[in-house]
């Protein structure tokens, strides 16, 4: 009997192994079969299709279709796009240092913002300049899509550091325009990850970090030490709209505030090399300084590692709105013919053990769409002090500050370049600006802006009108329109499009965007950051918390349950 049991157990094990082996063989067969089918279908099309097909375009579209079934972060870069990969990871590229985009009014590419201290700015190129030619080659759109046209001009402007070319632009003036030429020598451009830092109130320092590119921790460290030397006794770290980047740089920045040897991130993936533990490796700068971190829906990836780790370790108060929720890690893999694949290889888990990934891309709906994990399905974890935090759905702030929603009218004013054009016009009339602090958009300035808006015959879609139209259609379909026609007419009258009313009603929000665009023309990204801080609810809340030591400590400690009497 005993021998029969042993044999039966062995049989179960062997059968189990056989099943696993069969499944693996079946999967390998399916892969080989479908690759063979893809290859055969392409050969048949290439040989028999009535028109000549673009082989490279067709196959690359097939590759992108395949990757679309994974997640938005798994991407293929052919050899000609390798510069994009390098810029993504290092923040460096060879060029002139200027942001550009399609400008519909002229069907050309316009310079949006030269970078401070870079070749374009040094040569005298200004925001608003319309690019006509690069190195003697006319830059015209033809039948290209605006996005492809922008990419074409961008590639023409980039090149090996040290090479020179003539940039021909049209500069709009108040009542005319003029053609200008600049000789520009390209150089190695590195995006500044710390656009602004300074003292904001009494002994409170402020530091904005825009990306986690290569060596950004060194820039951060330099700025942080300088703030401490200026007397900073508390620090506000601004990670709003920081989409992330390097994992190692994020850990190095956390390391400035927590002891050496602290585990910050654990990665878990299918393969052994995708699994790992990442700890702080250096002595910190300051483990005691009160710290507030500003976040919003644009804070993702490495930004969430920093804010989430500091929250899990009870090292900082997180303020703002919930972060994006990207808990995935990508790895760069080389491909034949100098191509590159950026592929998601693991999920990361911060000190409390939670993963903040908001979307499970493995669970797509029938139509290919995906949805965020509902709060009801998230799990509770605990910080080092025992505070409750949750996984899924990003980092939830300790103090939530609901920012103002951007009105529809602002979106259209920006989309139609009216705010951009007004800033160009403002610079005609004001060649210099004394300082960011002294700048204020006056009522007279805003009247001039309103005149420009009206001169463009500006119209925009209003959500109230769209919803009213939909409601009328539903009422008619369900047979309620006859009895409600007078009410609908009254409501239509009240919701009648009135541009003057809208420009006045939303003047505060519109002025904010105009002011930021104008200040950027004179003081670049540094000035834009300073202008944003003038009326910043998140910043004011952070200052308030950091100035109140008792409140700061209470937020970072577990609330005691009152004893029953």
pLDDT digits (tens, 9 = 90+) for 289-341: 999 999 999 999 999 999 999 999 999 999 999 999 999 999 999 999 989 99
| pLDDT for 558 | 87
* Rounded distance between C-alpha atoms, residue 384 and residue 466, angstroms: 50
Among 14-18, 69-73, 124-128, 536-540, name the one with the lowest average pLDDT. 14-18
Q: Regarding predicted confidence, which is higher, 498 or 386?
A: 386
Quick check: 280 pLDDT over 50? yes
Is there a contact between 401 and 541 (Cβ–Cβ < 8 Å)? yes
- pLDDT level of residue 460 (50, 70, 90 thresholds): confident
Tell me the three state secondary structure of residue 265: strand
| pLDDT for 564 | 42
Quick check: 561 pLDDT over 70? no
The residues carrying an active-site annotation are 301, 312, 326
Residues comprising the chain, all counted: 565
Q: Regarding predicted confidence, which is higher, 396 or 92?
A: 396
Quick check: 507 pLDDT over 50? yes
* Rounded distance between C-alpha atoms, residue 502 and residue 9, angstroms: 79
The rounded Cα 192 to chain-centroid distance in angstroms is 16
| pLDDT for 162 | 95
Q: Find the mean pLDDT for residues 532-538.
A: 95
Contacts of residue 539, Cβ cutoff 8 Å, sequence gap at least 6 = 200, 206, 236, 294, 533
| pLDDT for 14 | 45
| pLDDT for 21 | 61
Which pLDDT tens digit goes with each residue over 135-168?
Answer: 999 999 999 999 999 999 999 999 999 999 999 9
| pLDDT for 26 | 87
| pLDDT for 220 | 98
Q: What percent of the chain has pLDDT over 90?
A: 74
| pLDDT for 367 | 74
Contacts of residue 216, Cβ cutoff 8 Å, sequence gap at least 6 = 91, 193, 194, 209, 245, 246, 249, 253
| pLDDT for 316 | 98
Among 68-72, 302-306, 370-374, 420-424, name the one with the lowest average pLDDT. 370-374
């Amino acid at each position: 009997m005993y021998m029969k049991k042993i044999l039966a157990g062995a049989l179960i094990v062997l059968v189990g192994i056989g099943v696993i082996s069969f499944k693996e063989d079946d999967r390998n067969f399916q892969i080989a079969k479908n690759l063979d089918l893809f290859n055969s279908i392409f050969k048949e099309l290439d040989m028999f299709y009535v028109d000549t097909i673009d082989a490279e375009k067709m196959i690359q579209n097939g590759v992108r279709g395949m990757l679309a079934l994974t997640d938005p972060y798994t991407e293929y870069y052919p050899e000609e796009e390798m510069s994009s990969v390098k810029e993504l990871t290092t923040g460096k590229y060879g060029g002139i240092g200027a942001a550009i985009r399609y400008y519909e009014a002229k069907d050309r590419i316009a310079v949006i913002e030269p970078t401070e201290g870079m070749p374009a700015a040094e040569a005298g190129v200004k925001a608003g300049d319309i690019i006509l030619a690069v190195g003697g080659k006319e830059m015209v759109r033809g039948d290209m899509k605006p996005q492809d046209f922008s990419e074409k001009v961008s590639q023409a402007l980039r090149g090996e550091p040290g090479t020179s070319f003539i940039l021909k632009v049209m500069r709009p003036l108040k009542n005319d325009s003029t053609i200008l030429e600049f000789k520009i020598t390209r150089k190695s451009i590195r995006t500044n990850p710390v656009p602004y830092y300074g003292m904001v109130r009494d002994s409170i320092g402020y530091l904005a970090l825009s990306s986690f590119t290569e060596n950004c921790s060194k820039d951060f460290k330099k700025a942080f030490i300088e703030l401490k030397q200026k007397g900073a006794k508390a620090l506000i770290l601004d990670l709003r709209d920081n989409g992330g980047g390097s994992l190692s740089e994020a850990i190095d920045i956390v390391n400035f505030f927590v002891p050496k040897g602290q585990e910050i991130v654990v990665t878990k993936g299918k393969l052994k090399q995708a699994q790992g533990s990442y700890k702080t490796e250096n002595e910190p700068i300051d483990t005691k300084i009160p710290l507030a971190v500003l976040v919003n829906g644009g804070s993702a990836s490495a930004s969430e590692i920093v804010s989430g780790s500091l929250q899990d370790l009870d090292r900082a108060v997180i303020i703002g709105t919930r972060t994006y929720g990207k808990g995935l890690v990508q790895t760069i893999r080389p491909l034949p013919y100098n191509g590159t694949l950026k592929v998601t290889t693991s999920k990361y888990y911060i000190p409390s053990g939670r993963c903040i990934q908001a979307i499970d891309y493995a669970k797509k709906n029938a139509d290919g769409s995906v949805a965020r994990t509902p709060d009801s399905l998230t799990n509770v974890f605990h910080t080092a002090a025992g505070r409750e935090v949750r996984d899924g759905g990003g980092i939830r702030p300790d103090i939530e500050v609901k920012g103002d929603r951007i009105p529809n009218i602002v979106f259209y004013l920006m989309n139609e370049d009216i705010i951009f054009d007004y800033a160009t016009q403002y610079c005609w009339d004001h060649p210099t600006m004394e300082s960011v602090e002294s700048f204020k958009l006056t009522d007279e300035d805003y009247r001039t802006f309103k005149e420009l808006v009206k001169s463009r015959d500006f119209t925009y879609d209003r959500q109230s009108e769209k919803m009213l139209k939909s409601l009328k259609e539903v009422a008619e379909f369900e047979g309620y329109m006859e009895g409600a026609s007078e009410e609908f007419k009254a409501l239509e009258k009240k919701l009648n499009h009135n541009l003057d009313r809208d420009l006045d009603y939303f003047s505060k929000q519109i002025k904010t965007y105009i002011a930021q665009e104008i200040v950027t023309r004179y003081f670049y990204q540094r000035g834009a950051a300073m202008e944003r801080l003038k009326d910043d609810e998140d910043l004011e809340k952070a200052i308030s918390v950091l100035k109140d030591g008792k409140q700061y400590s209470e937020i970072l400690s577990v609330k005691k349950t009152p004893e029953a009497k």
